[in-house]
Amino acid sequence: MATYSVYYAGISLNTHQKFTLAQKITKIHADVTGAEAYFAQVIFKELDLHDFFIGGVLLDQPHIFLSGQIRLGRSEQIKKQLLVEIEIAIQMTVKLASHQIWVYLDELSPSLMIEYGQILPSVSNDNAWFLTLPDSVQKKLTKLNS
């Protein structure tokens, strides 16, 4: 599962903005990678303006820093598309300038990740992995994709 952690300082995000951004990031991840929507989670964490430094200097304007962890095995083109589309989604939702938005992607080997009680599959084996899950989990994940 991709985990997108959104850290923000100097701005307030209301529940609607978080919901909208989580929906956009999930859709972008699913559309760009071809993975099911249930393979993406988005976590928000507000930072105090006094807890965010750039170049050793206290932040003087609003910023969003998104750190995304995705499964290893995506092409460079897919990773670049994820970066660009996520940055645009943040701009449109939060109304910050591009220089106030930083997006990083880290890749993790699927063999080092467990979700829903199972080690994750390589990016091309999602369907086979899904079928190993208990029926109750399959039903829950199917609802998440609806």
* pLDDT higher than threshold 80 for residue 146: no
Specify the CATH number for 2-145; select among 3.10.450.200, 3.30.565.60, 3.30.429.10, 3.40.630.30.
3.30.429.10
Distance of CA 144 to the CA centre of its chain: 16
Query: For residues 30 and 68, is the Cβ–Cβ distance under 8 A?
Result: no
How high is the pLDDT of residue 1? 80
Per-residue pLDDT of 10-64, as tens digits, reads 999 999 999 999 999 999 999 999 999 999 999 999 998 888 888 999 988 999 9
Cα angle value 54/106/140 (rounded, 5°): 120
How high is the pLDDT of residue 59? 87
* pLDDT higher than threshold 90 for residue 102: yes
* pLDDT higher than threshold 80 for residue 5: yes
Residue 39 CB coordination number (10 Å): 23
Q: What is the four-CA torsion angle of 66, 88, 41, 109, rounded to 10 degrees? A: -70
Mean pLDDT (whole number) for 105-110? 96
How high is the pLDDT of residue 125? 87
The kind and range of the H/E element at 67 are strand 63-71
- For the chain, the farthest-separated pair of C-alpha atoms sits apart, in whole angstroms, at 52
Integer CA distances (angstroms), 142 to 19, 59, 62, in order? 20, 42, 37
* pLDDT higher than threshold 80 for residue 2: yes
Residue 98 CB coordination number (10 Å): 10
Mean pLDDT (whole number) for 101-119? 94
> Residue 111 — very low, low, confident or very high, per pLDDT cuts 50/70/90?
very high
Residue 1: partners with Cβ closer than 8 Å, 6 or more residues away: 38, 39, 40, 41, 113, 115, 120
Higher pLDDT, 39 or 146: 39
How high is the pLDDT of residue 120? 92
The kind and range of the H/E element at 18 are helix 15-33
Whole-model pTM above 0.85? Answer: yes
Count of CA atoms in the C-beta half-sphere (13 A) of 105 = 21
How high is the pLDDT of residue 28? 97
Structural domain boundaries in the chain: 2-145
How high is the pLDDT of residue 124? 84
